[in-house]
Amino acid sequence: MTATLIWTFVVLVAIGLYLSWTAGRLDRLHARIDAARAALDAQLLRRASVAQELATSGVLDPAASIVLYEAAHAARQAEEEQREVAESELSQALRAVFADLPQVEGLREAPGGEEAARELAEAVRRVPMARRFHNDAVGAARRLREHRKVRWFRLAGHAPFPLAFEMDDEPPAALVDRVA
């Protein structure tokens, strides 16, 4: 009888330790998602700020400046529910403005244009990486949260279900290829 109680106690402790380890792992994944989301937000803000600064610099032609400024402003001011769409529209505006190599060359030849082109190219290169890191963290957390043990024992607590950030983040080829 005593041996049975001891073995039952050992099994319950082992199960408790395993569930505690899983809950800790899930908590670390949620912290990783928060950090990746903060990095993604910083990169998106940087890209929009650089685009907005470039649009108001007078280096671009007026039509391109207006298109770029409006898209960058909309991306910076977008509510959370509309953020993916606004960021995708900024990507499309960047591709439209910098679709041709002559437009990029004109930017580079303007005073301060070389630095602006380099800064914009760096910003548009970093957004897909930050988005990939965020979405990888979200995928890992979602896979863990789908396990029965996590659902049955409510190991996720009250944390919201993580959502991926889906947007068009393809950089303008003429800008990235030329500045690289």
**CA dist., res. 68 & res. 50, Å (int):** 10
Q: Are 34 and 26 in contact (CB under 8 A)?
A: no
* Among 75, 84, 99, 86, CA closest to 131: 84
Which residues are CB-contacts of 168 (< 8 A; sequence separation ≥ 6)? 87, 88, 91, 92
User: Which pLDDT score is estimated for 179?
Assistant: 47
Give per-residue pLDDT as tens, 30-82.
999 999 999 999 999 999 999 999 999 888 889 999 999 999 999 999 999 99
CB-count exposure of residue 71 (10 Å: 0-12, 13-18, 19+): buried
Averaged pLDDT of the chain: 92
Rounded to the nearest 5°, which phi and psi values hold at 173? Answer: -60, -40
Alpha helices in the chain (DSSP H): 2-55, 62-77, 83-97, 101-109, 113-145, 148-152, 173-179
* Among 102, 130, 144, 108, CA closest to 45: 130
User: Which pLDDT score is estimated for 180?
Assistant: 46
φ/ψ bin of 157: left (φ > 0), alpha (ψ from -120 to 50), beta (otherwise): left
**CA dist., res. 80 & res. 92, Å (int):** 19
Q: What is the pTM of this model?
A: 0.90
What's the average model confidence in pLDDT over 152-178?
Answer: 89
